[in-house]
Chains A and B, each alone.
Chain A
Amino acid sequence: MKNILHKKLNIIAILIVGFALSTGCDREDSEDLRVAGFPANGDVFIDGFSGGLEYLPFGGSKLDAFTVDDETFFEGTASMRFDIPNFGDPDGAFAGAVFPDNGGRDLSGFDALTFWAKATKSATLNEVGFGNNFGENRFLVTKNNLRLTTNWVKYTIPLPDPSRLTEERGMFWYSEGPEDGDGYTFWVDELKFEKLGTVAQPRPGIFSGQDIETETFNGSRFIITGLEQTFNLADGTNETVSAAADYFSFQSSNEAVASVNDDGEVVVRAAGNAEITALLGNNRASGSLTIVSTGDFTFAPDPTQDPASVLSVFSDTYGDIDGFSPVVFNNETLTASVLNIDGQRLIQYGNLGFVGIGWNGTSDLSGFSNIQLDIQVTQSFSPTNNLIVELLDRGADQAEGGGDDTGGGFAIPGSQLAEGQWVTVVIPLNGFNRPTGGGFAGNPNLTNIDNVVLVGEGIANVLVDNIFFF
């Protein structure tokens, strides 16, 4: 068997040399260039490690998940076997590894990474691809959620742009956890880069092909996500892979308003509009980011209470409470982020139904009289809309439930808020007399407070800063 295999390999090698000779216009030059470049070896694992290939498991993974199996294989004499651990396996919670050839290879003549695979049960392989050698991973490619079956199936992972892969080191990588808590085994065989000739109709995308528009302000930063490349394969299916930023070239329609660097990081610089788009090779990527900058951001006024009399939840002036979290419970569609604009932080909520702001433990507010917070509404709204603030107290057991919890709310009428302007709101702690959305009657006890809750009634998009008791 081995002899036959070697013969086959020899023939393949000769054919490749023959191809190179027959396609080169100037034979001497092309030979010289070939010598100077990296080897154009597409084999990764046929019946064993190809020359230069290494195995490096991820930290925290089951280190012995990978073995060479000479009993189960698709073709030849051996395959790659991966044993995914059960949930709770002390040897590692997941399996994952990279298979680099750190000598580097020239993959520019190939158009796909292909392999045969099967599993002990139908499973979804979380991540599999190439371009990962625990280095810069500039040309990382990931196929997410590859469906494995119990039969040998050939899989094709297209190269997003082979011309960029003249010096690639990451030949193969994968990461997979248990399926519904259970481990399983899958095999990969005949793993190699191939020139199929049928990987066609490239359709790159950014933001997964969506056109996004965002109103923002100078100093904001955005990362371009959802970078992908889709090809149509010989069997008519479309195959989409995640592709690293280095495959793309990003452009801004107005560099003065928003600039974008090679890593896909966008910085907003001036008032106006700019559209961020991308090319992969010569193909325009679908999807875009339209920046609408309103100009310099106006920060909330610095609070002026004596720090000695303040219990701060979130504030650059007073610091944050221990374990501060802008979201501990929320409506499903809420978006929340802590923005950092030129070193100053504030909280941004979108699609606000309700959100609980929390911290470690509970706080005794019996020595405080008021809560203060700065609010800027970033949408149009009616004066009859409300933004409700609630306080939740967990009672003597200092834990949710137990029959001793209390809570109450205070409605800030829309008529007192303003779109695009900071409003400083001070609410006396004895003013939380409304029943809460969670069913408490109002007028909470103040000795074991652990949440400040915001509830939007027609006001769903707000900036919040400087939340503190005094």
Chain B
Amino acid sequence: MNQTKRNITRIRMTLSSIAILLVIILGVTSCNSDDRQVVAQLTDLVMEDDFDQDGAPNSELWSFDIGTGDNGWGNMELQYYTDRSENVTVQNGNLLITARQESFEGSNYTSARLITKDKFEQEYGRFEARMRLPYGQGIWPAFWMLGADIDTNPWPGAGEIDIMEYRGQNPTIILGSVHGPGYSGGEAISKSYELENDRFDTGFHVFGIEWGPDFINYYVDDVLYNQITPEDVPGQWVFNKPFYILINLAVGGTFVGSPNSETEFPQTMLVDYVRVYQ
């Protein structure tokens, strides 16, 4: 009886595997052939931070945005960004960004936002980070990019690529988006990806994009879940120029709402690595 069951099981598993392969093939073939060629070429590692050196993040790569920006960084966010080790540090091979509930310079929360502006900027490529996210109402981590010409070409004209955004109250769902002229803020072109039988705050996941002249592919782990092309945006395609990387952990704001009494602090996001390929 057991033997029979095993055989059936194997056959069924094989069928499942075939089904999965079919899905993968379907997924790949739904891109046009040019895309596939581009994707296949994005294996040349041009930037990597594995966060192997304990202490402050590598200052040759990372700078910090400090303070509350303009109107809570444009989103009514509640945190004050610092570069203190309480909010940002490298430990045991991970970058730790920690949001704390504390009175600081007139804000009730502190956290950190790292940027590669003027230090690493690139047009096109594969950008990915392996992260474990925090959780709770009002917690808003993000791994994203802004057009490097933002000082002379204000947002949204500069363009924004959100590789990963997440609401702490939705621990199984992330979003990937682009913002540009005519499609910014609430009008951004966006798609969510939901984990089945798992969540983003209990283990590490890879969040990435494959970005070429006329497409941005979004993936989580080994699942490609969206492609955005110039035809998908209702305004100018502003993604043919260098962008820089941002990693931050916001608290509150219009996207996520304020924390409540059930939100646990501190909340820490862990970044195992950031890698960029060409």
A254 CB-CB contact with B under 8 Å: no
Which A residues from 227 to 244 make CB contacts under 8 A with B?
232, 234-236, 238
Residue of A22, A195, A234 touching B171 (CB-CB under 8 A): A234
Which A residues from 7 to 25 make CB contacts under 8 A with B?
14-15, 17-18, 21-22
The CB with the most chain A CB atoms within 10 A, among B9, B262, B264, is that of: B9
Residues 1-43 of chain B, each 1 if its beta carbon lies under 8 Å from chain A, else 0: 0100110110011000000000000000000000000000000
Residue of A14, A195, A200, A236 touching B202 (CB-CB under 8 A): A200
- The closest CB in chain B to the CB of A238 belongs to B262
Report the separation of the CA atoms of residues A31 and B9 in the bound assembly, to the nearest whole angstrom.
Answer: 15
- Decide: A22 and B201 in contact? CB cutoff 8 A: no
Residues 124-160 of chain B, each 1 if its beta carbon lies under 8 Å from chain A, else 0: 0000000000011100000000000000000000000
B199 CB-CB contact with A under 8 Å: yes
B198 CB-CB contact with A under 8 Å: yes
B63 CB-CB contact with A under 8 Å: no
B91 CB-CB contact with A under 8 Å: no
Residue of B8, B12, B169, B196 touching A236 (CB-CB under 8 A): B169
- Decide: B168 and A236 in contact? CB cutoff 8 A: yes
- Decide: A14 and B8 in contact? CB cutoff 8 A: yes
Q: Which residues of B contact A232 (CB under 8 A)?
A: 135-136, 171, 201
Contact A201/B135 with A17-B5, A17-B9, A18-B9 known, Cβ cut-off 8 Å: yes
Q: Which residues of B contact A236 (CB under 8 A)?
A: 135, 137, 167-171
- Decide: A200 and B9 in contact? CB cutoff 8 A: no
CB contacts between A and B, total, < 8 Å = 52
- Decide: B8 and A200 in contact? CB cutoff 8 A: no
Residues 172-212 of chain A, each 1 if its beta carbon lies under 8 Å from chain B, else 0: 00000000000000000000000111101101000000000
Residues 66-105 of chain A, each 1 if its beta carbon lies under 8 Å from chain B, else 0: 0000000000000000000000000000000000000000
Q: Describe B's contact surface by its main secondary structure.
A: loop
Report the separation of the CA atoms of residues A423 and B172 in the bound assembly, to the nearest whole angstrom.
Answer: 65
Residue of B8, B169, B171 touching A198 (CB-CB under 8 A): B171
- Decide: B5 and A234 in contact? CB cutoff 8 A: no
CB distance from B259 to the nearest CB of A (A): 12
B71 CB-CB contact with A under 8 Å: no
CB distance from A27 to the nearest CB of B (A): 9
Report the separation of the CA atoms of residues A227 and B258 in the bound assembly, to the nearest whole angstrom.
Answer: 29
- Decide: A201 and B9 in contact? CB cutoff 8 A: no
CB distance from A185 to the nearest CB of B (A): 32
Which B residues from 257 to 278 make CB contacts under 8 A with A?
262, 264
- Decide: A201 and B201 in contact? CB cutoff 8 A: yes
Report the separation of the CA atoms of residues A22 and B197 in the bound assembly, to the nearest whole angstrom.
Answer: 18
Contact residue range for chain B? Answer: 20 to 34
Residue of B13, B198, B202 touching A22 (CB-CB under 8 A): B13
Q: Which residues of A contact B262 (CB under 8 A)?
A: 238
Q: Which residues of B contact A21 (CB under 8 A)?
A: 6, 9
CB distance from A161 to the nearest CB of B (A): 16
- The closest CB in chain B to the CB of A232 belongs to B135
- Decide: B199 and A200 in contact? CB cutoff 8 A: yes
Q: Which residues of B contact A198 (CB under 8 A)?
A: 171-172, 197-199
- The closest CB in chain A to the CB of B169 belongs to A236
- Decide: A197 and B170 in contact? CB cutoff 8 A: no
- The closest CB in chain A to the CB of B5 belongs to A17
Contact residue range for chain A? Answer: 10 to 19
Q: Which residues of A contact B5 (CB under 8 A)?
A: 14, 17
Q: Which residues of A contact B137 (CB under 8 A)?
A: 236
Q: Which residues of A contact B170 (CB under 8 A)?
A: 235-236
Report the separation of the CA atoms of residues A198 and B199 in the bound assembly, to the nearest whole angstrom.
Answer: 6
Report the separation of the CA atoms of residues A18 and B15 in the bound assembly, to the nearest whole angstrom.
Answer: 13
- The closest CB in chain A to the CB of B262 belongs to A238
Which B residues from 61 to 94 make CB contacts under 8 A with A?
none
Contact A14/B135 with A198-B197, A236-B171 known, Cβ cut-off 8 Å: no
Q: Which residues of B contact A31 (CB under 8 A)?
A: 2
- The closest CB in chain B to the CB of A203 belongs to B264
Which A residues from 34 to 76 make CB contacts under 8 A with B?
none
CB distance from A15 to the nearest CB of B (A): 8
Report the separation of the CA atoms of residues A17 and B199 in the bound assembly, to the nearest whole angstrom.
Answer: 25
Q: Which residues of A contact B135 (CB under 8 A)?
A: 200-201, 232, 236
CB distance from B193 to the nearest CB of A (A): 14
Q: Which residues of A contact B196 (CB under 8 A)?
A: 197
Report the separation of the CA atoms of residues A17 and B2 in the bound assembly, to the nearest whole angstrom.
Answer: 10
Report the separation of the CA atoms of residues A457 and B169 in the bound assembly, to the nearest whole angstrom.
Answer: 50
Q: Which residues of A contact B172 (CB under 8 A)?
A: 198, 234
- The closest CB in chain A to the CB of B196 belongs to A197
- Decide: A195 and B197 in contact? CB cutoff 8 A: yes
Q: Which residues of B contact A203 (CB under 8 A)?
A: 264
The CB with the most chain B CB atoms within 10 A, among A22, A197, A203, A235, is that of: A197
- The closest CB in chain B to the CB of A201 belongs to B135
Report the separation of the CA atoms of residues A294 and B67 in the bound assembly, to the nearest whole angstrom.
Answer: 51
Q: Which residues of B contact A235 (CB under 8 A)?
A: 170
Contact A14/B12 with A201-B135, A203-B264 known, Cβ cut-off 8 Å: yes
Report the separation of the CA atoms of residues A31 and B5 in the bound assembly, to the nearest whole angstrom.
Answer: 13
Which A residues from 259 to 308 make CB contacts under 8 A with B?
none
The CB with the most chain A CB atoms within 10 A, among B136, B169, B197, is that of: B197
Q: Which residues of B contact A201 (CB under 8 A)?
A: 135, 201-202, 264
- Decide: A18 and B197 in contact? CB cutoff 8 A: no
Report the separation of the CA atoms of residues A238 and B167 in the bound assembly, to the nearest whole angstrom.
Answer: 15
- The closest CB in chain B to the CB of A18 belongs to B9
Report the separation of the CA atoms of residues A196 and B198 in the bound assembly, to the nearest whole angstrom.
Answer: 8
- The closest CB in chain B to the CB of A13 belongs to B5
Report the separation of the CA atoms of residues A201 and B2 in the bound assembly, to the nearest whole angstrom.
Answer: 38
24 contacts between A and B (CB under 8 A): A15-B12, A17-B5, A17-B9, A18-B9, A18-B12, A21-B9, A22-B13, A195-B197, A196-B197, A197-B196, A197-B199, A198-B171, A200-B201, A201-B135, A201-B202, A232-B135, A232-B136, A232-B171, A232-B201, A234-B172, A235-B170, A236-B169, A236-B171, A238-B262
Contact residues of A with B, CB < 8 Å?
14-15, 17-18, 21-22, 31, 195-198, 200-201, 203, 232, 234-236, 238
Contact residues of B with A, CB < 8 Å?
2, 5-6, 8-9, 12-13, 135-137, 167-172, 196-199, 201-202, 262, 264
Taking A15-B12, A235-B170 as given, write out 14 further A-B residue pairs in contact, using a Cβ cutoff of 8 Å, ordered by the A residue number.
A14-B5, A17-B5, A17-B9, A22-B13, A195-B197, A196-B197, A197-B199, A198-B172, A198-B199, A203-B264, A232-B135, A232-B136, A236-B171, A238-B262
